[in-house]
Amino acid sequence: MDLSNELIQWYLKNKRELPWRNSTDAYVIWLSEIILQQTRVEQGMPYFHRFIEKYPDVQSFAAADEGDILNLWQGLGYYSRGRNMLKTARQVVEKFNGVFPVDYLQLTDLKGIGEYTAAAISSFAANEARAVVDGNVFRVLARYFGISEPINSTKGKKLFQGIANDLLSKEHPGLHNQAMMEFGAMLCKPKNPDCGICPVREGCYALKHGMINSLPQKLKKLKIKERYLNYLLITDGDNILMNKRDEKDIWANMYDLPLFETQERLPSEEVIILPPVKEYFGENVRIINTFPVKKHILTHQHLHAQFIHIENKPIKLEQKWFYTNVNNLEKLAMPKIIFIFLNNLFNL
């Protein structure tokens, strides 16, 4: 069975109509690929349209302010993607006179573009014979060929890339890659794949051997770190005290509230008597209101955010604290958990 040809025929009959699929513009393809990393198509589509509308080409993207990019990115998570995109766009303007490259090797020299993204852009924009291997492709290959090597191991990545290279249609590499990815996304899904209507079911090792639910294999994840974030809400009329985060932690250069992190979950009454809280807000901190703890899950961290509205104004300001009018909040790039909290309070 010619697996590539079978999947291409399936794709031509069943593919979703997505805006970037009708384009060979490397900028448009790059934008879609970065947005859809770690993001479902349904979630990423509105972001794609917003970015294309505001930044229709790489030159306008490169001229943007980082805060504007992060603000537009808000809610997608993995904010380093947004920051790296700005660096990429500026590299394209500086090194390639604003013409987004389509050559695989040139693409891999750009910030934030790895082997997968470079293969996708070069094959979709210029039909370069580079096999794309994403999560969907890993799953299809692991199940069809019965490969138990972990997909996130060094040996596994090399093995799967080699198989993908061997399968790649040299005549239609872009179409082949689209078909493999779409097949994994729509039919050979992680859970409850539609094996009954699969066009290549006769040759599928996992289906024959009852291994659909056990493939692909992954190495065990890293230990999850639990973090307890105690945020203080301080208002002064129509103004609110905000904090600009630094570059050394999650949500680099974004905005949140004055934060006091602890090693364990503390009730609000214990938070307000912490030495650093008293240092900035005095001995007798009065609570106006408390809010339920919100849990926010990142790849290797679970964040437990507590919001405490206090009456006290700071007796001194931390270097990155500042007051701003609540009407200006929508202009600030905030982590999703902060935006949702403030939006519920002020209807941003």
* Catalytic site positions: 33
Structure tokens at 155: 């040996």
Local structure of residue 59 (DSSP, 8 states): H
The residue ranges of DSSP E strands in the chain, in sequence order, are 225-233, 235-236, 239-244, 255-256, 259-262, 287-290, 294-297, 301-310, 321-325
Give the integer Cα–Cα distance in Å for 45 and 56: 15
Q: Are 123 and 99 a contacting pair, CB within 8 Å?
A: no
Residues making up the chain, counted from first to last: 348
Give the integer Cα–Cα distance in Å for 234 and 285: 11
Straight-line distance from the first to the last Cα atom of the chain, in angstroms, rounded to the nearest whole number: 56
Task: Indicate the Cα dihedral angle 172, 173, 175, 180, nearest 10°.
Answer: 130
Q: Is 253 left (phi over 0), alpha (psi -120 to 50) or beta?
A: left
Q: How far is CA 341 from the centre of its chain?
A: 21
Compute the radius of gyration of the chain from its Cα atoms: 24
Closest alpha carbon to 48 in 26, 71, 32, 66: 32
Pairing of strands 225-233, 235-236: unpaired
Say how many C-beta atoms besides its own lie within 10 A of residue 51's C-beta.
22
Give the integer Cα–Cα distance in Å for 286 and 132: 57
SS3 36: coil
Lookup result for tokens 């974004």: 254
Residues near 101 by Cβ (< 8 Å), separated by ≥ 6? Answer: 26, 92, 107, 110
The helices-and-strands tally (H runs, E runs) of the chain is: 15, 9
Structure tokens at 336: 């999703």
